Structure 1
């Protein structure tokens, strides 16, 4: 069984199989001092992230972050410092659904409850990667499966979350529409830029306008290629800073090569067709620079979105295309004004 198949199998396990049940619950009627004394007498195994509070029937009624319990006055009742609204995971949930809770809510642990809200135990963030990696690597002396499990988990969870969001038309609309406004804004700005260069467009304007679709199509194509490759790196878990720097240098060099080669082809065709060396030189310079810049834009935009915890899969494309269009047109018009 491959690591990916093993990951899928474990993610479909009931979360109850992975719950830590040796958890000492607090009573809401205790004082903070009584609660701390109780924890000293019966210390819970493993690390403590949150303290859970249950009533006399064992039902979960609240949660107390460790810091809040330690710094509250000893005479304060636990009921007065606990958080009553608790995000819980049902006992019938799968490991995959539990992992999605960590992604959606960004807590370090979650209580698990049964159908009557009775406290069963808890799972902490180690379930997200550590425990799964340990299970997959148990029969792998080289640890290769354990090394790959994190990538598998993140990719599977990401696919499930994206599919869930897109299944709702309203959520899908509001997740995508605001970023399409970037295309509208980019188009309007491009039209505005053209109005500032009407002297260029009227002087050999028919020739220059003829090649605008080619110039923009090339810059947009390389921009979206860079976006796709960059987002793929993040999904594959290869987006650390050192690799980002290497990827940036690689994309820059690739963009320069793509720009020079595509610019050479278009400029050669223009020179043979129009027999105008000036127009051919403008096309060569504009396409070469525009493609190189668009490659960098296609890498930089999803990288920045990822840093700010925004979804690069939805937002990076429209922003990159609008930016590539505007920058390429600026290069094209200014170069034309200078050379022609």
Structure 2
């Protein structure tokens, strides 16, 4: 890596061959254990060996032998009898991100790198990745690295439509439920929601609340990357986020209210929008920050579920706030 710090996304897109080490010494499938150990002893190009890779006459990967098994087997034992023939290898055209998936999925300490003919061109081990990660200067960049690997791996693991559907559909039902509940609220407040001075702004009011809610979810997930959830830290962050939410809501409400005043010529409509947006954004900020913490405390995946639930709750809370204020001011 260069002298200037690199973004994790740039590093993850590198060809894995730029980060691989030597796979030497390679053992031959026709050797005995005694012959293989002699090769190891005389090799001048020994990498950080975790496993010994076995090749055939055409230098194609034939298997792998663990160091312990090589040392404890009888000297006359053929290598082909102690090697594991089912060997997972990383293609040479893979990226660093794809290589990371192999480590996370298979839980091995090293992998051989093979070309299109399955000839061994190198190897990569966990130590190499540890050294590279330590060169990332900023903590946030390192957090992004691990988050990106986790997200990419979870999506890549779903190679069939069925499991992918089953993993995502339940949380989409949160949006369906939130939308239906919002429709029921709009119907219950039909005397307000259908007014010409209220209806045009419904989408804007909910969109602002949803945006702030998702921002708060992102901040909470970021905080949970670096430390376990604690009530003291949660309450401190909640207080800060509610303050920021109040400021954001007030600023957005003021802008929208002024536009509505110029457009509709009604101070009451402007006040309704100002208060509705302020209250909705304030509540949505609290909801967005709270959900990931609460889900982590309940031992649920906050990253998967917090977003859909936060959006649904943001819509419901904002509409209730907006319609009640409208009924109070315009009724």
> TM-score band, normalised by the shorter chain?
0.5 to 0.7
CA–CA separation in structure 2 for the residues paired with 1:152 and 1:279: 43
Correspondence for 2:153 among 151, 157, 161: 161
The yes-or-no answer on 1:303 pairing with 2:293 is yes
Tell me the equivalent position of 2:166: 174
> Which structure 2 segments of 5+ residues have no match?
24-47, 52-65, 70-80, 92-98, 111-124
Tell me the equivalent position of 1:66: none
What per-residue deviation string (whole Å, max 9, x for no partner) do you get for residues 14-49 of structure 1? 8x94469569xxxxxxxxxxxxxxxxxxxxxxxxxx
Distance 1:222 1:133, change over 3 A: same
TM-score by length of 1: 0.57
TM-score by length of 2: 0.58
Alignment coverage as a number of residue pairs: 253
Tell me the equivalent position of 1:221: 211
Correspondence for 2:178 among 154, 179, 186: 186
Q: CA RMSD in A?
A: 4.4
Tell me the equivalent position of 1:28: none
The yes-or-no answer on 1:339 pairing with 2:329 is yes
Correspondence for 1:272 among 247, 255, 262: 262
CA–CA separation in structure 2 for the residues paired with 1:11 and 1:159: 22
CA–CA separation in structure 1 for the residues paired with 2:89 and 2:157: 22
The yes-or-no answer on 1:323 pairing with 2:327 is no
Tell me the equivalent position of 1:257: 247
Aligned to 2:174, the other structure's residue is in SS state: helix
What per-residue deviation string (whole Å, max 9, x for no partner) do you get for residues 150-188 of structure 1? 747633531441331354333222222221111111111
**8 Å contact 1:262–1:288 — kept in the other structure?**
yes
Distance 1:18 1:156, change over 3 A: farther
Aligned-residue offset at 1:334: 1.7
**8 Å contact 1:223–1:297 — kept in the other structure?**
yes
What per-residue deviation string (whole Å, max 9, x for no partner) do you get for residues 176-235 of structure 1? 222111111111111211232234446xx222222212211211222233334444555x
**8 Å contact 2:295–2:301 — kept in the other structure?**
yes
> Which structure 1 segments of 5+ residues have no match?
24-56, 61-88, 103-108, 113-126, 138-142
Tell me the equivalent position of 1:38: none
CA–CA separation in structure 1 for the residues paired with 2:138 and 2:305: 30
**8 Å contact 1:7–1:132 — kept in the other structure?**
no
CA–CA separation in structure 1 for the residues paired with 2:270 and 2:89: 68
Distance 1:166 1:133, change over 3 A: closer
